[in-house]
Amino acid sequence: MFRPSLRSVFLLAVPVLALLVLTAWQVYRPAASEQPAQPRLGLPSEPLKDTPLPGRGDPTALLSACGVDDWPRPVAHGKGEKSRDPQLAFGGWGFVDPGPDQPGKARFTVHLAVRTDQLPLLLAAPLRAGNVTLDVFGPHGEGRRASARGLSAVVVDASFEGAPVRPPKSGSFRVAPGKELLLDVDLPAGAVCPGYTLNDVARCTPELSNDSSDCPVLTLTLTDPAIRDHRALVAGEPPAGMSDRLVAISLEPEVSRA
């Protein structure tokens, strides 16, 4: 009967062992398309502190909120913040850098529209300084990429992008039913969290994704006493319980907060 020698057994085992090693490598090696995990934010080991920013209205960079993954809708000031009369809606946002040879500076601007349905809304003209908050939430539980309080909105002309509108002599901006009051709000560079810039704070992850769940969520609020009075008139209720704030959220999760 044939009995393989130790040398024969060794020669047969080597190719088998090599095949097993190669198979294991193919199974467990990282795919070529996979990118190494990147830190979500370049946060330092010490907690960040809120920082005053230049500008009217005493704006503040809420850097202590960087990376905090809480609900994009803020706690309500009162009743009516989810109503559509009046309503604050996003018209888009983006980064513009005119370059070194052109006037102006790099800006990240959020475009909005105030709308009403039943009754005219009268807002103070010029708009109150420091009555705007803005937060940019990264996708996939990343938390805030930027956060600012005490910002100011500018009323702009619909016929010429970004041109400020002079306050009317009446002392009020009138938003008639079916019409829009267009606003621009700039995000200060100092309110952007470490690891991001004005240029990439609103980029999706991955960058070229068309899935809304891969993209940041913006939350912007605008506060004015006239909003409370308007809601009370529409609802036929006392103003005391109504919110004085308009809230715009670019994409609100369709799940319960609880």
* pLDDT at residue number 252: 87
Calpha distance 197→251 (Å, rounded): 22
Average pLDDT of the segment spanning 121-129: 96
Residue 100 binned pLDDT confidence (cut-offs 50, 70, 90): confident
> Between 160 and 206, where is the model more confident?
206
HSE on the CB side for 201, CA within 13 Å? 30
pLDDT tier for residue 256 given thresholds of 50, 70 and 90: very low
**CA 14 – CA 34 distance, rounded (Å):** 32
Model pTM? 0.81
**Average predicted confidence (pLDDT) for the chain:** 85
- pLDDT, position 162: 76
Per-residue pLDDT tens over the stretch 190-199: 999 999 999 9
232 exposure class (CB count in 10 Å sphere: 0-12, 13-18, 19+): middle
pLDDT of 90 strictly over 80: yes
**Residues 6 or more apart in contact with residue 73 via CB below 8 angstroms:** 219, 247, 249, 252
- Position 41 scores a pLDDT of 61
Euclidean distance between CA atoms 105 and 187, whole angstroms: 13
> How far is the C-alpha of 186 from the C-alpha of 197, rounded, in Å?
14
CA distance linking residue 242 with residue 79, whole number of Å: 5
Q: Using one digit for the tens of pLDDT, what is the confidence trace for 26-59?
A: 443 444 333 433 445 667 677 899 999 999 989 9
What's the pLDDT at 19? 44
The yes-or-no verdict on residue 131 having pLDDT over 70 is yes
